[in-house]
Structure 1
Amino acid sequence: MSIIIAGGGLVGTTLALAISHATKGKKTVFLIEETEPKKPVPTTYDGRVIALSADTCQKIASFDLWSAIKPSATAITHIHISDRGSLGFISLDSKEYNVSALGHVIELSQVMNNLFSCLQKAPGVYLYCPHKVSEIKRSEQHVCVTLDNGEKIYGELLVAADGWRSEVAKMCGIKRQSVNYKQIAIVSTVSTQVSHNGWAFERFTDQGPLAMLPISSGYSALVWCQSDVGRHKIAQWNDKQFITELQSAFGWRLGRFLHAEKRQIYPLQLQSATHNISHRLVLIGDAAQTLHPVAAQGFNLGMRDIISLVETLQTAWQQGKGAGDYSTLRYYQQSRKRDVRATIKITDELLRLFSNTHKGLTIGRSFGLIMIDQSPLLRYLLAQWTLGWIQWNTLFRDKTHETL
């Protein structure tokens, strides 16, 4: 029987290629995606980027996929963390930790084209695109997915990798819990007077965090979180006013802001499925949990979903068990529980800590940033977490974790 993956974005595509690589094409994978990737224009930047930790990059390489991603990846060699209005800051340098990069920033449009090319050559992978799921029926023995053209696909497991608005989760009755942060994210690409030279910046402001991430040709990808109260006003800013406001919020570490590409605005919420498994169904990536972009943990957490699921499936198959068996899915759920909960908690509390404008807390944050920057041990621990080499599911053993 096959594995059916609904959603051919970065998470779903990576999972399909990972299963193909891990099983050498001996397990059939059906990948369903509604939208074909558009060919990127070389001189145009759409602002859609993802920051990958060094650990995530290594895991992608273990699936023999790094060659497809590397051409669209820019190394992060330095990270600068600051709090607007505070003297405190933290600066991390990859050379201090004997690594070539603390992570990479990938430009999604180009990466998706490269990965779709990989899908066409991957053994055991069959791509249904552009198609979407119109009906799902789950029986004791299999799951049947009906496509929008009426074609039926049968498998032993259905994987929902179709994002935070997962239609598959809705069809299967999976509910979602949400926390409205009452913030928006402004996403764009900007050019600056001074080239980024591999520097990534995370600057906390009273409106929300502002991230500047290095991408190709010396440009920087911007993710600027603001209160949703001013959404209409922000949407009306012309290019000159936008640049002026951004300069004021970010400062002059990259010199003068010269130009900003087209801006996109997204509402920000914390969302998580009430459970990430059901009968012959598993949710991964944003379909399972959607995080605030602060600290850029979203896809890195989704990548760990992929790794755990592939390892679980391999173990199940070696033991003669099915991918959709309850014991298989229960094992996967237990393997992910602690990491997911801890990452959500850290991201949520980090946002709330740095969004609070209470004077005493502001002073405390400034002192905390200075203390971390001046302490080799604390800087080391922060760097290890940034690199992805400290994870809660490996630091602590979950006593409730089951065996297959």
Structure 2
Amino acid sequence: MTHYDVVINGGGLAGAVLALGLSQLERADGSTLRIALIERSAPDQNRHPGFDARSIALAGHSCELLQQLGLWSLLRDLATPITAIQVSDQGHFGQVNMQAQDYSVPALGNVIELAPVGQLLYQQLQQHPAIELFCPAQIATWQQAADQVMVTLDNDQRLTTSLLVAADGHHSRISRQLKLPRRQFDYQQSAIIANVQTAMPHQGRAFERFTPEGPIALLPMSGERCSLVWCVSNARAKQLMACDDSAFLTRLQQEFGYRLGRITRTGTRHCYPLVLDEVTRPWHHRVVLVGNAAHLLHPIAGQGFNLGLRDVAALVEQVRQALLDPSEAEHPVDLGSHQLLSRYGQSRQADQAALVGITSALALLFSNDHPVLAAGRNLGLMTMAACSSLKHSLAWQAMGKR
């Protein structure tokens, strides 16, 4: 039985970034933490659920956090900058345009593709001496004790740890077994995800277009492709997934318009149900939840991973501060202590509650055709376009800066 300071269950983006971030910390005597990362599959493009064909938009603040964690230099070359954002409402005149140059920043955010990022982070995990990678492996059983958590893997290996981190996604087994209080809501929508090609170059522009059934987002990618996130009712999603590529592109063109000319090609489509699933207090005795294991949001604002990254950065910071405690030299800090996890949890509650509230409100406001609501949101977009202070506020929010 081997003891680790931290055991992380889940080697997707949140878990990998957390492991690499923690690996850079040192104790008072100069030693590094012992970290174990458990992942059931290597980041193969066809198999790994955490690094599939999707792309994510990193807010500007998220890129700064990755820089602080020592990882942005690794990921920068895989990122496509967002230099402009256009927000519009189908069938109405309201429209907001934001340009990076208006805020003296090189980009409002960046788009990264999960598959190549997964390969790169996996290589870093394999090479780091402070991280032991258990892959392929899964947790078979785990048990909390007063001073540690005991973990048994499906290959009968046994580990103990001061802190167990659940970074194993929305269907986190650890989260379900703890039976923590949750807030859930079914939006009765699904998101269709695909990479598409357009006749006109995107030039770093991102688009979010609201329709009566939900938003359509096109994010700039490498190779002049765009990452599509199309939110529709569950019934419509079934119809669209059943279409051949030509019919699918025709329907997408009708909804999105010709801002990038003709949409000429689509890659493989994936469909995901959209729900709010929030663990309102995502920590327990010697266990903490991060990323989608703690909160799954509607993609309307594209902030799901950005929130998860702030979880990771906050946890790394709490551990760093604990290791800097002068008493740590004589009495090694307990990384799973109630005090440390309480400080972490309290530091994250306001941010999580605010973003959950904003995304839920936007999803309900911009995913219906009620004439009063439609008129109100159109007026709001026109007002924001005309009022520089409101538009600037939206831009800073998009960059993750409040």
Same fold (TM over 0.5): yes
1:235 paired with 2:241, answer yes
- Structure 1 residues 33-58: Cα deviation after superposition (integer angstroms, max 9, x where no partner): 01101169xxxx96411100011011
Segment of structure 1 superposing worse, 140-149 or 112-121: 112-121
Paired residues, number: 386
- Structure 1 residues 251-308: Cα deviation after superposition (integer angstroms, max 9, x where no partner): 0000001011111111110001242011100001000000011111100000110111
Once the 2 structures are TM-superposed, how far is the Cα of residue 355 of structure 1 from its aligned partner?
A: 1.6
- Structure 1 residues 219-256: Cα deviation after superposition (integer angstroms, max 9, x where no partner): 00100000012233222111111011000000000000
| 2:25 counterpart (17, 22, 43) | 22
Q: Which residue of 1 is the match for residue 225 of structure 2?
A: 219
User: Distance between the aligned counterparts of 1:293 and 1:196, measured in 2?
Assistant: 21
User: Distance between the aligned counterparts of 1:47 and 1:213, measured in 2?
Assistant: 14
User: Distance between the aligned counterparts of 2:161 and 2:85, measured in 1?
Assistant: 44
> Partner letter of residue 390 of structure 2?
L
| 1:326 counterpart (338, 347, 351) | 338
| 2:392 counterpart (370, 380, 393) | 380
Give 3-state SS (helix, strand or coil) of 1:156's partner.
strand
Kept in 1: contact 2:9–2:167 (CA 8 A)? yes
Kept in 1: contact 2:208–2:218 (CA 8 A)? yes
User: Distance between the aligned counterparts of 1:152 and 1:274, measured in 2?
Assistant: 31
| 1:10 counterpart (13, 18, 21) | 13
Shift of the 221–47 alpha-carbon distance from structure 1 to 2, 3 Å rule, reads farther
Once the 2 structures are TM-superposed, how far is the Cα of residue 68 of structure 1 from its aligned partner?
A: 2.1
Shift of the 364–177 alpha-carbon distance from structure 1 to 2, 3 Å rule, reads closer
User: Distance between the aligned counterparts of 2:359 and 2:199, measured in 1?
Assistant: 32
1:294 paired with 2:336, answer no
1:78 paired with 2:120, answer no
Instruction: Spell out the pairing of 1:175-186 with structure 2 (5 A cutoff).
Output: 176-186=182-192
Segment of structure 1 superposing worse, 242-251 or 274-283: 274-283
User: Distance between the aligned counterparts of 1:174 and 1:132, measured in 2?
Assistant: 21
- Structure 1 residues 183-231: Cα deviation after superposition (integer angstroms, max 9, x where no partner): 0000001101101010000010001010000000000010000001223
User: Distance between the aligned counterparts of 2:116 and 2:86, measured in 1?
Assistant: 27
Q: Which residue of 2 is the match for residue 270 of structure 1?
A: 276
Give 3-state SS (helix, strand or coil) of 2:24's partner.
helix
User: Distance between the aligned counterparts of 2:53 and 2:9, measured in 1?
Assistant: 25
Could you state the TM-score of these two structures normalised by the residue count of structure 2?
Answer: 0.93
Shift of the 63–25 alpha-carbon distance from structure 1 to 2, 3 Å rule, reads farther
Once the 2 structures are TM-superposed, how far is the Cα of residue 69 of structure 1 from its aligned partner?
A: 1.2
Once the 2 structures are TM-superposed, how far is the Cα of residue 174 of structure 1 from its aligned partner?
A: 3.2
Kept in 2: contact 1:185–1:267 (CA 8 A)? yes
Could you state the TM-score of these two structures normalised by the residue count of structure 1?
Answer: 0.93
Once the 2 structures are TM-superposed, how far is the Cα of residue 351 of structure 1 from its aligned partner?
A: 1.0
1:370 paired with 2:368, answer no
Could you tell me the percent identity over the aligned residues?
A: 40
| 1:59 counterpart (65, 75, 93) | 65
1:360 paired with 2:372, answer yes
Shift of the 230–25 alpha-carbon distance from structure 1 to 2, 3 Å rule, reads farther
- Structure 1 residues 347-403: Cα deviation after superposition (integer angstroms, max 9, x where no partner): 00011111231212212211211111111111111111111111xxxxxxxxxxxxx
Q: Which residue of 1 is the match for residue 112 of structure 2?
A: 106
User: Distance between the aligned counterparts of 2:287 and 2:265, measured in 1?
Assistant: 46
Q: Which residue of 1 is the match for residue 356 of structure 2?
A: 344
User: Distance between the aligned counterparts of 2:400 and 2:89, measured in 1?
Assistant: 23
Runs of 5+ unmatched residues, structure 2: none
Segment of structure 1 superposing worse, 160-169 or 117-126: 117-126
Give 3-state SS (helix, strand or coil) of 2:310's partner.
helix
Kept in 2: contact 1:3–1:29 (CA 8 A)? yes
User: Distance between the aligned counterparts of 1:325 and 1:361, measured in 2?
Assistant: 48
Once the 2 structures are TM-superposed, how far is the Cα of residue 22 of structure 1 from its aligned partner?
A: 3.0
Kept in 1: contact 2:10–2:38 (CA 8 A)? yes
Give 3-state SS (helix, strand or coil) of 2:25's partner.
helix
Shift of the 289–46 alpha-carbon distance from structure 1 to 2, 3 Å rule, reads closer
Once the 2 structures are TM-superposed, how far is the Cα of residue 121 of structure 1 from its aligned partner?
A: 2.6
User: Distance between the aligned counterparts of 2:162 and 2:197, measured in 1?
Assistant: 49
Segment of structure 1 superposing worse, 30-39 or 82-91: 30-39
Q: Which residue of 2 is the match for residue 201 of structure 1?
A: 207
> Partner letter of residue 152 of structure 1?
R
> Partner letter of residue 388 of structure 1?
G
Once the 2 structures are TM-superposed, how far is the Cα of residue 123 of structure 1 from its aligned partner?
A: 3.5
User: Distance between the aligned counterparts of 2:323 and 2:97, measured in 1?
Assistant: 46
User: Distance between the aligned counterparts of 1:71 and 1:33, measured in 2?
Assistant: 26
Give 3-state SS (helix, strand or coil) of 1:209's partner.
strand
User: Distance between the aligned counterparts of 2:139 and 2:77, measured in 1?
Assistant: 32
Q: Which runs of 4+ in 1 moved over 6 A?
A: none
